[in-house]
Structure 1
Amino acid sequence: MAYKLGIIGTNWITKQFVQAAHESGQYVLKAVYSRHEDTGKQFAQPFNVDDVYTDLESFYNSGINVVYIASPNSVHFEQVKAAINHDIHVIVEKTAFSNPMEYAAILELLNDHPNVRLFEAARHIQQANFKVIEQQVAQMEKIAGATFVYEKYSSRFDDYLAGNEPNVLSRRFSAGALTDLGVYPIYAAIKLFGAPKQTHYFATPLRNGADGRGIAILRHDDFDVTIEFGKGSNSHLPSEILGRRDTLVIGDIAEVLDVTYYDDEGAAHQLSQEPLANPMTTEAVKFADMMTNPVDTADAYQELLSLSQTVNQVLFDLRQDAGIVFPADK
């Protein structure tokens, strides 16, 4: 039986997830929530969905049993909390919550609703090519360091340059380069190497106090991971994981399309698999399995939840280091 899916947020990533959900055969879009009815209807029409809501309570009472949330970061907490209170499974886009205090409150609420599953939609760590990276890292004799790069000119940066404050570049919405783009390589680094011992963040501030780009350093016992990201430029540099003489090169740490291993002799070994047409399909299938088979997947689910919480803490620590405060922190 397919899960009855509701969505919050009507941007391109929501459309991509709905398409992936339908392709998986595990979900059917049932309801759309939007602050503006016209926007919601416009999104729903291609999917032949009539149930469009501007009231969150009515939306959660519409018969859905899983919600995908891709609204601004700052409103995730209240929307997720309401979903859990209605015993609805949650798939929430990165960054899931503004700070560890919000995350702790959600975990406490989950304890009161043991049948509800919460997932952070870090699609790249679910993809086949990321599994290839994990396997190769496990085989490398020594990890000497890593550099992950993800700089992508935002479609909203022109709006910022024109004197406006788009949501994705505003502390008011718990946003900025770190929580919008940096979360991708940070998720990858923590999934591959575990929680760092120390963190440092050298942020380049925008005029509104948010970060437009930055360099984060995650310090482990005997190596560092340097992460460079930003929303006001395009970088075409690959990411690298260094061994001694061997190196793992990743073409794009967020899309994970190209993975090449250079052995001790410098010979190149192409490790990439052909990606799925929709990069969100794999996570949609995995989340459905964890909701359908909660006992068999309990350990894997707890691992994902713990990873998400660790990423949240590291993002917060990096912001603290750079002196970036969100209104949600107060």
Structure 2
Amino acid sequence: MRAKRLKVYGMDASYHCMTRTVNGEHLLGDREKEVLRKMIWQVADFCGVQVLTYCVMSNHFHVLVEVPEVTVVTDSELLRRYQVLYPKPTKYQEASIKVLEAELAAGGEEAEAVRRRLLARMGDVSEFMKTLKQRFTIWFNHSHKRFGPLWADRFKSVLVEGEGYPLKTMAAYIDLNPVRAGLVDDPKDYRFCGYAEAVIGREAAGYGLLRIWTDRIGSQQSVANALQAHRTLIFGKGGDPMQVKGQVMDRNQVSQVIEEQDGVLPRAAVLRCRIRYFTDGAILGSAEYVRGFVDSVQVERKRRHPPKVNPLRGAAWGDVTVLQSLRRRVFS
């Protein structure tokens, strides 16, 4: 589902966004990953969205963001965000900070036009991804003396219920990307993901993890507690997350048990599979939450029959459902 088309009104909305390089080429080395990591935080600050977690791989990246409901943004905050995105104005920019400040202070129709132009790029997941991908492409092409598109098509997005187990599960799935790729055994050892940043004490990443583990009706005491809870979700309560009833299974065996035998396995083991629910599921959340979008999706997609709310297979996911039925294999 296109994130741009599905609007959530009157509440914060969380989205899992993912995009790949052209032809899936492995173009991002450590230097490129570091630049993209920094840009994710920078562009999120400018757009006024909260990064909950992320993971940058060699040919794609994931980011889980919370987009707040529309609020008033003061002129001083607009200027601050502008400086975050353009700390060193160049002749190619539309306006330097001094010019922008003068235009806003002058008031009138020109000031309103400036505000509208800046606000149109804020508080929207599509604008966040557009700005991030464009800025990184410009840097990458300049650094590598290349031209043309870097990213394949538009990004994928899944709307995620902004609290409770759906959000926590999605965050764990994103942080486990380097483990599924065989790069590390523990995501804390992969420097280009939100969990690793939180482990080493980076404040913004810690706040994102705290937000994931703080339900609106409850409270999480500290980042340390959130880290511990997140780690338990990632690794389970046993020693080896891939050990099932005394037998260590590989990812292919886990996938086979689920797809061919309709089996149920520990969450920590299943999360080490590639799960299309989390990238192609359209909407992920409790049955009540997902059911609330059935009518709007039916109208948007011009479907004769309303889409069904489907429980996730493969593990004891709790009350986590998905809107997209996904006819092909879900686990791999």
The two structures have a TM-score, normalised by structure 1, of 0.27
Q: Larger strand proportion, structure 1 or 2?
A: 1
The two structures have a TM-score, normalised by structure 2, of 0.26
Larger Rg: 2
